[in-house]
Amino acid sequence: MSALFTPLKLGTIVIPNRIGMAALTRNRATGTIPTDVMREHYLQRAQGGAGLIVTDAVLVSRQGTEWQDAPGLWDQAQVEGWKKIVDAVHGAGSKIYAQLWHTGRVSHPEAPQQILAGVPVYAPSAISARGGKFRFIPGAPGYVTPTELPDPKTVVALFKEAAVNAKKAGFDGIEFHGANGYLIHQFLDSSSNHRTDEYGGSVENRARFVLELIAAVQDVFGPDVAIKLSPCGGYNDMGMPLSETIATFGYLLAQIDALPTPLSYVCLALYNPYLDIELEGTMRGTTHDVLQTYKGYFKSKPRRTKLFLNSGIQPDQAETFVGDGEGDVAGIFFGLAWIAHPDLAKRIQANKPIDNAVDLTKLYGAPGVDPNLGYNDYKAAV
């Protein structure tokens, strides 16, 4: 029996296999409202055997978006759009978590939703990310210097409200987007967090924001709360020296492992050059072996928090990670492979080739282009 196809208890649910679909922000909402095109996309992947689907990154407020058509979860129309998606996924026998997102300093004052929000681009500190990639703002505006967020608890409240809305929509759980240089990561990283209050400085202080978020959302979702982290940094100008990286993420994982209510899982992204950036001739990320470095910070026995890995992992490696006999890795999230293979889990189970190429030019859609293209038109083989 393949280790990948053994059921797994996660919080209050049981998933039928260890093959997750990672959040893949594809920009197919209308404004911020989830659409039937998105419903079709998720339904295809639920039918394709996904053990657990994590949604596109879902914005918790208009403020903190770099996107034109990323979905949100702060009003009733969004709840109704998501409910249709959740019901379709459940109808096909799969489970679905909402990934909650705030982009912090990598939003832009000219992003459509940020304009509507009527507030500045907030971040832990007034430190700009280098680079910039605003797909829907003409020209190449680059990142701005953000405004220091006066009171992080206001954003904790936004996440909690989004979680309440996720509950109304019927989601099975919440995954925090704590990776890839967005707001949560910006608080953790000393290169973007120079605060002098209790949310900055020491490792304990930089981890405070995310631990407060976890507590607030667990009030709503109990044991069905998870987080994704990318300790290697890179993307969105994120990263610390190696010893500080290990001290920061090691501390956070040890705190998570000891929470009164455990998280359902932690997903750690491995180093992946695809999510690193080159700055001044060097790669920004802090390359290290994520599994070997951090697995020892989960000290509880039996392990209270399941560990998933993600990023650039091939199916045969996935089987090795999960079936190594040590029990360190409970499951794997695949990303791009799910875009091009709506039946990815079924293909892996049936030993069918994973051979559809992803059309990167159609990944994000574009105004005036049929949103199904490069999204709902990949063919199933099983």
Give contact residues for ligand PHB (rule: CB under 6 A).
25, 57, 179-180
Smallest distance, Å, CB 134 to ligand PHB?
Answer: 10
Q: Is the peptide bond before 223 cis (omega within 30 degrees of 0)?
A: no
Tell me the HSE value of 25 on the side-chain side, using a 13 A CA sphere. Answer: 20
Which C-beta is closer to ligand PHB: that of 234 or that of 262? Answer: 234
Token output for 368: 């005036």
> Annotated catalytic, 182?
yes
Q: Which of 97, 182, 235, 378 is catalytic?
A: 182
Which C-beta is closer to ligand PHB: that of 179 or that of 322? Answer: 179
Smallest distance, Å, CB 353 to ligand PHB?
Answer: 26
CB 269 within 8 A of CB 227: no
Q: Identify the sign of the CA torsion 215, 217, 220, 221.
A: negative
Type and span of the H or E element at 178: strand 173-178
CB 182 within 8 A of CB 23: no
Smallest distance, Å, CB 55 to ligand PHB?
Answer: 12
Which C-beta is closer to ligand PHB: that of 25 or that of 286? Answer: 25
Smallest distance, Å, CB 261 to ligand PHB?
Answer: 26
Could you tell me which of 240, 258, 251 has the C-alpha nearest to residue 204?
A: 251
Smallest distance, Å, CB 25 to ligand PHB?
Answer: 4
Which C-beta is closer to ligand PHB: that of 128 or that of 180? Answer: 180
Rounded Cα distance between 80 and 59, Å, is: 15
Could you tell me which of 342, 332, 57 has the C-alpha nearest to residue 183?
A: 57
Rounded Cα distance between 160 and 323, Å, is: 36
Place of tokens 């709840």: 79
Which C-beta is closer to ligand PHB: that of 135 or that of 299? Answer: 135
- Which residues are known catalytic residues? 182
